Amino acid sequence: MTDANQEHNVRTLHYLGPEGTFTHQAALEAVAELSPLCGGITLQAEPDVTTILNAVQTRGDWGVIAWENNIEGYVVPNLDALIDAADVAAFARVGVDVSFDAFVRSTGAEREDGRKNRDVAANADELVAHCTTITAHPHGLAQCRRFAAEHGLKPTPAASNGAACRDLKPGQVALGPSICGELYGLTRVATAVEDYPGAHTDFLVLAPRGEVPELLNELKSRTGEFESIVTLIPLSTGPGVLANLLDVLRDAGLNMTSFISRPIKGRGGTYSFIATMDAAPWQERFRTALTEVAEHGDWVKTLAVYPRQERPNPPVYAWSLPNGGVRLDPDSETSATLSASGWQNETTTRKELLW
Amino acid sequence: MTDANQEHNVRTLHYLGPEGTFTHQAALEAVAELSPLCGGITLQAEPDVTTILNAVQTRGDWGVIAWENNIEGYVVPNLDALIDAADVAAFARVGVDVSFDAFVRSTGAEREDGRKNRDVAANADELVAHCTTITAHPHGLAQCRRFAAEHGLKPTPAASNGAACRDLKPGQVALGPSICGELYGLTRVATAVEDYPGAHTDFLVLAPRGEVPELLNELKSRTGEFESIVTLIPLSTGPGVLANLLDVLRDAGLNMTSFISRPIKGRGGTYSFIATMDAAPWQERFRTALTEVAEHGDWVKTLAVYPRQERPNPPVYAWSLPNGGVRLDPDSETSATLSASGWQNETTTRKELLW
C-alpha cells in the first residue's frame, strides 16, 4: 500500500493469477460489492495462495481465495491454509458461474468488435471453421468436450484458462471466462459452451483478523442475515466425540448448512471439523454454543463471518433421492425401499441395507 | 467379459485412463491385492468414470475410482456418482503415493537401462542437461516446481501425466508415476521430485452390489477389522437434524473417521451426509444404528465395506493445533488461548473467539 493509497483508504485485493481466470472474475465481483466499504480497490495477481495470505497478514491488505465449488466440493488446500493462518478471517463471500466463452484472435474489424461488447461476432461460424485446435486448462477442456467435438477441434492443454486466452494464436480457439474477451482483445465466437451448465464457485474475501469486526459493522447496516464458518478440534478422539460436539450446537438452535471433517496435517488419526452455520458472533446462540465448546477444552476458531446469500430451505421429497438406498417409512404399515426397481417390501429393504 | 474369462473367473477391472496415470498405478495395486479372490484380473482403461460405473452395472465387471486425497480431500464428483449409482458398491480400498519420477526419452543403452529396472540412469545429470522443457498435467507441474527451476526447464502442460510420458519428445523431461518408465520405455533421470512429499490418494474398488457380500466373506477369512462408508439423507432440514442423526451413531458406539455433508444435486438447501466408520454390516452396532436411522424415515445407503488399513488413534496435543483459535482449559484456573503470540489470558481469549 502506498502512502497515497492510505490517504484515500484504497485497498489492495490479492488474487490467484494470471489475469483472466475465474478467480480474477471473482476478484472483480468483490470489487463491485465491497468498494463502498473503502475508498476503492486495486487488484493484484499473485502466483499462489500462500503469497495472498502473507499479504493479508503482513501488509494488512485484502485477499480472495476459492472456497467451494458445487461440483468439486471444497477447495481443501485453501480451507487448510485458512484454518492454519494466524491473523486472517473472511468477511465476504462472492460467487461466479463457471461458464466458458470461446474466443479467437483475429485482426481488424472483428477484433474491435470483440473489445467493444460481449456479443458473439457476426461471422463466428466462419472464424471457428478456420481453426484446428482448442486450448484451455485440462479441466476447461474436459468441461467443454461437446463444443470441441462439434467443430472438430483438437484439444491442446494450457497451464490455465487465462494463459490459454493470453497466448492465443491464429488457428486456435481458446476457452475462458467472459472477462478474457476485453482483457486480451479477443473475438468471442460462442458463449456458455460447457457441456453441463450450472457449475458455480464461491470465494471468500479475507482481511486482517483485527479489521473484520469493523468491516462487519459496516455490512450489518446494509444486510440482514449473516453466516459463519467455524473450525472445531475436539481434544480427544473415539466414538461420540462428534455427536457430543453437535449436541451443543443443536441445543443452542444453530442451523448448519455445511459440515465436514478434515484430518489434521501430520497428525494421523486426529480431525478438525468445519461447520458453516446461520449465525454471527454477535448473536446469543452463537456465543452460547461456541463458549460451551471452548470450555469443554475443545479448540475453536472462527474462519469467516459474512452476509448470507438467499437460498431455499425445502423439505426432501422422495423423488429427489439418489438411486438405490433404503428408507423405512414410519408413517406406513408396510415399510418400503427406494431402489432402481421401485418400491419393495420390508424384507428386501432390510436385506439391502444390511446385506 | 468373454466366455473364456467366465470359465476361469477372470475379472475385468476398469480404470480411468490413459495408461500411466496414478489411477493406473492404483489399478495395478488392486490387481496385486485382489487377484486371489478370482482367477486373475485384466485391466481396461476408460475415458471417464461414468463408463466405469456403467461397466460395473451392466456387464458385472469391476471398477476402480479415486476417492480421497490427503491434500485435496474427497474426489467429490466420484463420491456423487457412487451415491447415485443404483447397483454398485465398493469392497476394497487401495492407496498410492502421489510421487513423481522424471523421465527422458533416449536411445540405445540408456533406454534399455530404463526398461530393465527402477534405478536412475547413471548419466542422469547429463541427460537432463540436454533438455529445455518439462511436461506433465498442470497439477504435476505445480507439484514439482523446484525440480524444474533447479534444471532451468520450461513448464509445458499436458492433458495427463500419462499422456506427457507417452508423447515424450527428445529435449523434454516428463513427470509421472514410476510405472511410466517401463510402460513407455523411458529412461528415469530422478525419483520423487515433488516439492512436498507425503501426498497420497485412496481409491475404491467397485463390484455389482449383489456380488459384494460374497467378496467380503472371502476377505473376512483373511483380515480382522472392516470399515464402512454410508450415505444418510435426513427427510427434513433445520437445526438439530444432523445432531439427532449422529446421536444414534454415538449411542450405538460407532466410531467415525470421516464425515462430510454434500448438497443434493439440483435440490438447493437439501443435504446428504457421508460417514466413514469402524463397523461392518454383519456387526450388531452397525445394524442397530442404521436400522434406527432408516426407521426414522431417513434415507440410508451403504456405499462401501472393506478391510480397514492400519492407522494411529492418538490424543490431540496442543502443539499439533493450528495457528490462532481459542481453547479454554477446563483443568486450569486461568483459561488460556493458543495464538501466534503464545498463551494469552481469558479476556483476550473470549474476545478472539467472539470478536
Give the type of residue at B250.
R
Q: Which three cell numbers, joined as nine digits, stand for B28? A: 495395478
Question: Cα distance from A1 to chain B (closest Cα, Å)?
Answer: 24
User: Closest by alpha carbon to B208, among A337, A342, A324?
Assistant: A324
Question: Cα distance from B340 to chain A (closest Cα, Å)?
Answer: 6
**A88 and A113 housed in the same domain:** no
Residue predicted with more confidence, B355 or A340: B355
**A106 and A180 housed in the same domain:** yes
Using CB atoms, which residue from B247, B249, B327 is nearest to A247? B247
Q: Please check whether residue A110 lies inside any domain of the structure.
A: yes
**A267 and A216 housed in the same domain:** no
The torsion of the CA quartet A247, A273, B291, A321, rounded to 10 degrees, works out to 110
Number of structural domains found in chain A:
4
Q: Please check whether residue B329 lies inside any domain of the structure.
A: yes
* Count of all residues that appear for chain B in the document: 355
Q: Please check whether residue B181 lies inside any domain of the structure.
A: yes
**B147 and B277 housed in the same domain:** no
Instruction: Give the pLDDT mean for B44-59.
Output: 96
User: Closest by alpha carbon to B120, among B134, B108, B110, B133?
Assistant: B110
**B91 and B77 housed in the same domain:** yes
Using CB atoms, which residue from A234, A295, A353 is nearest to B300? A353
Give the type of residue at B102.
A
Q: How far apart, in whole angstroms, are the C-alpha atoms of residue A96 and residue A179?
A: 12
Per-residue pLDDT of chain A (355 residues), as tens digits, is 444 444 458 999 999 999 999 999 999 999 999 999 998 999 999 999 999 999 999 999 999 999 999 888 999 999 999 998 989 999 999 999 999 999 999 765 444 444 455 789 999 999 999 999 999 999 999 999 999 999 999 999 999 999 999 999 999 999 999 999 999 999 999 999 999 898 999 999 999 999 999 999 999 988 789 999 999 988 777 777 788 888 888 888 888 888 999 987 766 667 889 999 999 999 999 988 988 888 888 889 999 999 998 765 555 555 556 777 776 654 443 333 333 333 333 344 444 454 4
CB proximity list for A177: less than 8 A, separation 6 or greater:
A20, A21, A22, A24, A25, A96, A99, A100, A101, A161
> What pLDDT score does A242 carry?
81
User: Closest by alpha carbon to A44, among A9, A17, A4?
Assistant: A17
**B11 and B92 housed in the same domain:** yes
Q: How far apart, in whole angstroms, are the C-alpha atoms of residue B27 and residue B204?
A: 10
Taking a C-beta distance cutoff of 8 angstroms, is the pair B180, B101 a contact? yes
Q: Which three cell numbers, joined as nine digits, stand for A234? A: 475436539
pLDDT at residue B90 tops 80: yes
Q: Which three cell numbers, joined as nine digits, stand for B89? A: 458398491
Beta-sheet strands, E only, within chain B:
11-16, 41-46, 62-69, 73-74, 88-97, 101-104, 133-136, 154-157, 172-176, 187-190, 200-208, 226-233, 256-263, 271-277, 299-307, 337-339, 342-344
Q: How far apart, in whole angstroms, are the C-alpha atoms of residue A7 and residue A11?
A: 11
Residue predicted with more confidence, B338 or B53: B53
> What pLDDT score does B180 carry?
95
Q: Which three cell numbers, joined as nine digits, stand for A21? A: 481466470
Q: How far apart, in whole angstroms, are the C-alpha atoms of residue A331 and residue A348?
A: 19
pTM for the model: 0.85
- Asked if B268 has any chain A CB less than 8 Å from its own CB, the reply is yes
Output the average pLDDT for chain B: 84
Do B237 and A316 lie within an 8 Å CB cutoff? yes
> What pLDDT score does A115 carry?
46
Instruction: Give the pLDDT mean for B19-30.
Output: 95
**A165 and A292 housed in the same domain:** no
Question: By CA distance, what is A214's nearest residue in B?
Answer: B355
**A69 and A115 housed in the same domain:** no
Using CB atoms, which residue from A84, A141, A353 is nearest to B322? A84
Q: How far apart, in whole angstroms, are the C-alpha atoms of residue B355 and residue B344?
A: 15
Q: Please check whether residue B19 lies inside any domain of the structure.
A: yes
User: Closest by alpha carbon to A304, among A82, A124, A33, A61?
Assistant: A82
Helices (H), chain A: 3-8, 22-34, 49-59, 76-84, 108-116, 124-129, 138-143, 145-150, 161-166, 180-184, 212-220, 241-251, 284-295, 346-354
- Asked if B213 has any chain A CB less than 8 Å from its own CB, the reply is yes
pLDDT tens readout for residues B292-342: 888 888 889 999 999 998 765 555 555 556 777 776 654 443 333 333 332
Q: Which residue range forms the structural domain that includes residue A150? A: 101-190
- For chain A, positions 288-307, list CB contacts with chain B under 8 A: 290-291, 294-302, 305
> What pLDDT score does B5 carry?
44
**B64 and B180 housed in the same domain:** no
Q: Please check whether residue A320 lies inside any domain of the structure.
A: no
User: Closest by alpha carbon to B53, among A110, A100, A340?
Assistant: A340
Q: How far apart, in whole angstroms, are the C-alpha atoms of residue A108 and residue A128?
A: 17
User: Closest by alpha carbon to B103, among B45, B44, B43, B144?
Assistant: B144
Q: DSSP secondary-structure letter at B326? A: B
Q: Using the CB atoms, write b or e for B42-58: b if 16+ within 10 Å.
A: ebbbbeebeebbbbbbe
The DSSP code sequence of B167-190 is T--TTEEEEE-TTHHHHHTPEEEE
Q: What is the CATH number of the domain that holds A106?
A: 3.40.190.10
Give the type of residue at A218.
E
Using CB atoms, which residue from B158, B249, B262 is nearest to A157? B158
Boundary-marking domain end, from B168, B190, B212 = B190
User: Closest by alpha carbon to A79, among A237, A229, A257, A289?
Assistant: A229
Instruction: Work out the angle between the directed axes of helices A49-59 and A76-84 (0-180°, nearest 10).
Output: 20
pLDDT tens readout for residues B144-158: 999 999 999 999 999
Q: Which three cell numbers, joined as nine digits, stand for A315? A: 423439505
> What pLDDT score does A310 carry?
72
Q: Please check whether residue B320 lies inside any domain of the structure.
A: no
Taking a C-beta distance cutoff of 8 angstroms, is the pair A206, A136 a contact? no
Q: Which three cell numbers, joined as nine digits, stand for B327? A: 481453547
Question: By CA distance, what is B74's nearest residue in A?
Answer: A73
**B218 and B231 housed in the same domain:** no
**B330 and B293 housed in the same domain:** no
Q: DSSP secondary-structure letter at B210? A: G
Taking a C-beta distance cutoff of 8 angstroms, is the pair A162, A71 a contact? no
**CB count, 10 Å around CB of A41?**
20
**CB count, 10 Å around CB of A323?**
15
φ, ψ dihedrals at A331, nearest 5°: -90, 5
Question: By CA distance, what is A327's nearest residue in B?
Answer: B299
Give the type of residue at A37.
L
- Asked if A247 has any chain B CB less than 8 Å from its own CB, the reply is yes
Confidence at B52, pLDDT banded by 50, 70, 90: very high
Taking a C-beta distance cutoff of 8 angstroms, is the pair B65, B75 a contact? yes
Q: Please check whether residue B127 lies inside any domain of the structure.
A: yes
Q: What is the CATH number of the domain that holds B256?
A: 3.30.70.260
Instruction: Give the pLDDT mean for B161-172.
Output: 95
Do A354 and B287 lie within an 8 Å CB cutoff? yes
**A218 and A147 housed in the same domain:** no
